Chain A
């Protein structure tokens, strides 16, 4: 069974600085995707960034980028130039292309301080 682990329950960063959120996963599959979702106080789940396992190049979306280390099964999220609106809970998720299941980590609460 797949597992996703986020070892940092809470983090904080000063506005305009850079922060990295950690995520590790465990799987024996080769066909999978990895996601980072943001959940603000409104509880809506918002897709931040997506990485296909077969791609070696790290995904980037504006201020958000990932460090995908496939052999180490690590998938960290880097937020550059942090903004107050980045304050939210962030979830790492593993999607199995074989079973269609999406498995989430426990989440990391990020607070951006002015």
Chain B
């Protein structure tokens, strides 16, 4: 298994540009989520999905869109990038089996908005 993969690893955008951060997992996990990590603020939940076709907002959803057309993929779209969206973005998937509940994180994408 490749686990959770994210592309790209680094990205620089100009204010107002749009882009999509890709996330994929090959573990057949139903639950996937996106976080952003900023210094001194830990990780904050942007959007999450409990299965294909179902998405919901997290703590900081403004400026971001998501979709979940397949179990494997959960892309995050920035509609009009702003400097405040400069951050490191993590995608994660979750498995829950009996008493086991574990989140698997991707390697992260460092985004800079100029």
Contacts and interface: CB of A to CB of B under 8 A. Distances in A.
A101 B42 contact: no
B108 A44 contact: yes
Given A43-B88, A101-B45, A103-B59, A50 B101 contact: yes
A98 to B, nearest CB: 12
B77 interface: no
B74 interface: no
A4 B41 CA distance: 11
B48 A106 contact: no
B42 A47 contact: no
Given A100-B50, A103-B59, A106-B40, A44 B107 contact: yes
* Residue with the greatest number of chain B CB neighbours at <10 A, chosen from A45, A91, A101: A45
Binding site secondary structure of chain B: strand
A20 B40 CA distance: 20
Contacts of B23: none
A104 interface: yes
A106 B42 contact: yes
Nearest to B59: A103
Interface in B33-71: 33, 35, 40-45, 48, 50, 58-59
Contacts of B43: 91, 93, 104
Interface of B: 31, 33, 35, 40-45, 48, 50, 58-59, 88, 90, 92, 94, 99, 101-103, 105, 107-108
Given A45-B90, A105-B42, 4 more contacts: A52-B101, A97-B101, A103-B45, A106-B40
